[in-house]
């Protein structure tokens, strides 16, 4: 997927028509927006989301498409402090 400007908006990894592998979304400025691992069409593994300035916004883990364990939210205004 691409923005009208031609910059990459998303990269999704499929295996036999099912999300399986890394899914990455990007802001139009080229910074990463989010990254999450998929297995069998469901979120599985660690994920991160990012503010448009590149700082981490949130991090955690999915198991079988459900949030699992501790999740961390980071401040955009305090240079990414937890």
pLDDT of residue 78: 66
Q: What is the mean pLDDT of residues 25-36?
A: 96
pLDDT average, residue stretch 11-18: 94
Question: CB of 1 within 8 A of CB of 20?
Answer: no
Q: What is the mean pLDDT of the chain?
A: 93
Give CA–CA dist 67/6, Å, rounded: 33
DSSP letter for 51, please.
-
pLDDT(10) > 70: yes
Q: Which residue has the higher pLDDT, 62 or 77?
A: 62
Output the pTM of the full model. 0.84
Pairing of strands 42-50, 56-63: antiparallel
């Amino acid at each position: 997927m691409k923005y009208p400007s031609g910059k990459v908006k998303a990269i999704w990894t499929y295996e036999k028509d099912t999300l399986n592998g890394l899914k990455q979304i990007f802001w139009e400025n080229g910074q990463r927006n989010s990254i999450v691992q998929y297995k069998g069409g469901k979120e599985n593994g660690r994920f991160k989301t990012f503010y448009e300035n590149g700082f981490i916004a949130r991090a955690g883990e999915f198991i079988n498409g459900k949030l699992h364990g501790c999740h961390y939210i980071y401040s955009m205004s305090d240079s990414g402090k937890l």
